A and B are shown apart, each in its own frame.
Chain A
Amino acid sequence: MKSGTIPKESAPAFGELFEEFKSSIRGHEGGAIVTFTGTVRGDPKGHDAGCTKTRQIEIEAIEGVSSEFLQRIAAETEARPGIHKVVIIHLTGTFELGEPMVHVLINSAHRGEGFKALEDVVNRYKKETPLWKKEIYSDGTGRWISH
């Protein structure tokens, strides 16, 4: 099970990912599996305050290249003490309100290392991976977001 970007249409559901992740760590489990799923939220980041809501998010990646960045972040995090396995799956395409766009799964010796690593992984993939996010608003306008 490898980190990478996957077109939304061919991405497995979170439940499938979780089961596959559990299978992949069998025999060397730590004491915790911590996960993060990022979903499309209604309050816009890139729009002036008002009654406009986010209707969709568009996520773009570079085929092959973006996956390598996610794999590097996962490998570097796995090198930390107490972290056994890290998988980052970032979906691409157009997403409706509430739909998942990204999953991070971490197997760690204890929950403390897992939670800290999870926070760091999320901060890193947002800033370090060639991915682009466009908010599309209920008034029909849109804006590319930068963190």
Chain B
Amino acid sequence: MPLRMTALLFGEARDLAGTRSVAIELPEGKGTLPAFLLALHDATGKKLAGKVIVASAAGGFAVAPGYKIMINKRIVSPQEAEDHVLKDSDEVGVLPPFSGG
């Protein structure tokens, strides 16, 4: 069974993608952040490339410096998110650097 999850986009990421949420599907057993970001990269027509989704040192995909990840309303650093196994029905937020008014 594939893993179906939702990407939630905020601020600049939402603007670039032109949408607030994107349906993401990953193969079973592949619930990792790099795999999620690759799927998001493709699902948004590569509009997030460079500013939101960047190449990681390991050769995969990562979020841009200063970005954070939110997994089911819990905000974590990208490093913590890398260690997290994403599950079916997860909501994964891509959060640009914060800037209150």
Contacts and interface: CB of A to CB of B under 8 A. Distances in A.
Interface in B32-78: 66, 68, 70, 73, 75
B15 A102 contact: no
A126 B75 CA distance: 16
28 contacts: A59-B101, A60-B11, A62-B70, A62-B73, A62-B93, A65-B73, A90-B101, A95-B101, A101-B101, A125-B100, A126-B100, A126-B101, A127-B98, A127-B100, A129-B98, A130-B95, A130-B98, A131-B100, A132-B10, A133-B99, A133-B101, A134-B11, A144-B96, A146-B66, A146-B96, A147-B97, A147-B98, A147-B100
Size bracket, chain B contacts: 10 to 19
A38 interface: yes
A65 B70 contact: yes
A134 B14 CA distance: 12
A64 B100 contact: no
A145 B70 contact: no
Contacts of B73: 62, 64-65
Given A146-B66, A146-B96, A146-B99, 12 more contacts: A60-B14, A65-B75, A126-B98, A126-B100, A127-B98, A131-B99, A131-B101, A132-B98, A134-B11, A144-B11, A144-B96, A147-B99
Q: Which 5 A-B pairs have the closest CB atoms?
A: A132-B11, A101-B101, A144-B12, A146-B97, A131-B100
Interface residues of A, number: 26
Interface string B75-101: 100000000000000000101111111
A121 to B, nearest CB: 11
Interface string A64-106: 1100000000000000000000000011000100000110000
A120 interface: no
A102 B100 CA distance: 9
A145 B97 CA distance: 9
A132 B70 contact: no
Contacts of B93: 62
